[in-house]
Homo-oligomer: A and B are copies of this chain.
């Protein structure tokens, strides 16, 4: 098989946790495309495919190399137009950009704060050093102080998802009756939390929790292949 997905890994190579990689795992499953996962640590990324990327996911599909989960989804829809669409047209491509911006600006920093020590502990020694140095530099505090502040994020997390909760009054998925890449964007953020800290942030009967369970059930339960932390 010539299709390879370079995916972030800690010491347990089977525990996928990167939100961006999860978006691509779900995209590939949505399109019904086979691939082999190549697990890489944070500090190994610059060396893969002759320095093709600074971040994962990176997809090799035959001769093509595509990085960035959004660009990979666009590529997959263009390269495999006969398979289920990830965007549902040009409007969907454009609006998924808004949903990506919402997810990143609203959810990602909260998950980072809640799960930062758990993520650290998933990594091998070399990656732990890199992770601590880069995150402490970027966030201007020690991992331990960030995690302590993260406790406050837990209580407010469910409220951040109010737009999704309200939308779920009218349809089952962000994509409508079925999922599209926009669902995988938000799924990626919550799956990141589920597979690292495993913190309970939603009541079990919260419409968002029920949507997340529906996402975990998709594509033969692809999202359940990694258990909750």
Contact = CB atoms under 8 A, between A and B. Distances in A.
Given A88-B91, A162-B105, A97 B175 contact: no
Interface stretch (A123-131, A163-171, A193-201, A214-222): A163-171
B91 A95 contact: yes
Contacts of A122: none
A75 interface: no
Given A88-B92, A91-B89, A95-B91, A101 B163 contact: yes
Interface string A135-176: 000000000000000000000000000111111001101111
A27 interface: no
A95 B95 CA distance: 6
Interface in A64-116: 85, 87-102, 104-106
A101 B90 CA distance: 21
A71 B102 CA distance: 24
A180 interface: yes
A224 to B, nearest CB: 25
Counting chain B CB atoms within 10 Å of each CB, which of A92, A98, A164, A167 scores highest? A98
User: Chain B CB within 10 Å — which of A99, A106, A162, A163 has the most?
Assistant: A163
A89 B180 CA distance: 13
A150 to B, nearest CB: 20
A182 interface: yes
A174 B104 contact: no
A166 B106 CA distance: 11
Given A101-B164, A105-B166, A85 B91 contact: yes
Given A89-B88, A102-B102, A94 B163 contact: no
Nearest to A100: B167
A163 B90 CA distance: 20
User: Lowest 9 CB-CB distances: which A-B pairs, in order?
Assistant: A89-B89, A91-B92, A88-B91, A94-B176, A95-B95, A102-B163, A101-B166, A101-B167, A101-B163
Given A94-B171, A101-B165, 8 more contacts: A89-B89, A89-B92, A91-B95, A91-B175, A94-B176, A95-B182, A98-B167, A105-B166
Interface of A: 85, 87-102, 104-106, 162-167, 170-171, 173-176, 180, 182
